[in-house]
Amino acid sequence: MSTLTTLFDSLRANTPCDLPLDWLQGRTAYGGFSAALGLKVAVDANQTENVTLRSAQISFIGPITADVIFTPEILRIGKSATYVGVKGVSDKSTVFQATYIFGKNRESAINHNFIATPYVMKPDQYSELPHKLIVPNFFKNFHVRVVSNSLFFSGGPKPELIAWVRFKDKLEIDDDISLLLIADSLPPASTVCSKEAAPISSMDWSFNIINSNICTEWLLLRSNSLVSKNGYSYQEMQLWNDKGELVMIGTQNVAIFM
C-alpha cells in the first residue's frame, strides 16, 4: 500500500493532517491534492446513498501547510443533490474553502456534448519531459507526455497546454479522489507565454465531472487561457480518457506575477 493510500485511509475530519513533502508546490500543498483531501472529508461526512461527485467550487485562500485541519458541514440534502462544505484551517487561519455537490444519475431527454476531443496520438508516441526541466515536487508523482507544441515557461505564442498524464504509482483510493489528484496537475496555461519561471498561484477551481467511472490509466489533460489581464489569467480545462470520452471540465482564476 502506498504512503498516499495510507494517508487518505487515515484522514479524519477535525484532526490535523501532516502533508507529505512530495505533494507540495513550493511551501503549500498542490491544489489538486488539497481538493482531494477536502473531498475525502466531504465523502465521509455525506451519508446520502447512491450519489457521486458532480461538481465543486474551491477557493485556495492561503498556503496549506503541516497540521491542516479539515472540517465538513452538510449544507443541504435535497431530492436531487447534496451539498457539503469543507473548510481547511492551518496555523489558525482559514486556507481552504470548498463546496462539493453530489447527485444521482437521472434519465433525461436532453443529451449533448459540444466539446471537441483534441486529435492526438497515443501516449507512447510522445516523449517524457526533459530531465533538466525544473518542476515542483508534486509533479514527480506523474508521468507526463506533452502533446501541445510549447512547454510551460517556453515563451510560446499560444497559452495552451495539452498532455497525457498518469500516476507513477498505483493508488488504491476512490475514483473521484484520484481524479482530483491528477486533474489539476498541469501548470497554468499562461505559463507557456513566459520565457522565465515566475510565481503563479491558482486562486480558485470550479469543475464539473461528467463521468469519473470511465477513467483510464492515461488521461488527456488540456488547459487553455482565454483571457489574461491585470495580473490574472482566466483559463478553461478539460480531461478525457484514452478512448476520447470526456471525463471532466473546469475553470480557474490564476494570479500571475510576471
Give me the tens of pLDDT residue by residue for the chain, a chain 258 residues long: 568 889 999 999 999 998 888 899 888 999 999 999 999 999 999 988 889 999 999 999 999 987 899 999 999 999 889 999 999 999 899 999 999 999 998 889 999 999 999 999 999 999 988 877 778 889 989 999 999 988 888 888 999 999 999 999 888 889 999 999 999 999 999 989 988 877 888 999 999 999 888 899 999 999 999 999 999 999 999 999 999 999 999 999 999 987
**Residue 112 domain-assigned (yes or no):** no
Number of domains in the chain: 1
What CATH number is associated with residue 90? 2.40.160.210
**Residue 115 domain-assigned (yes or no):** no
**Residue 117 domain-assigned (yes or no):** no
Of 210, 180, 217, the residue nearest 30 (C-alpha): 180
**Residue 116 domain-assigned (yes or no):** no
**Residue 111 domain-assigned (yes or no):** no
- Amino acid letter at 33? F
**Residue 114 domain-assigned (yes or no):** no
How many of the other CB atoms lie within 10 Å of CB of 203? 14
Rounded CA-CA distance 55/88 in Å is 19
Signed CA dihedral, 70, 73, 76, 77: sign only: positive
> CA 256 → CA 149, 166, 203, 235, distances in Å?
22, 27, 10, 12
Domain with 237 in it: 3-105+122-256
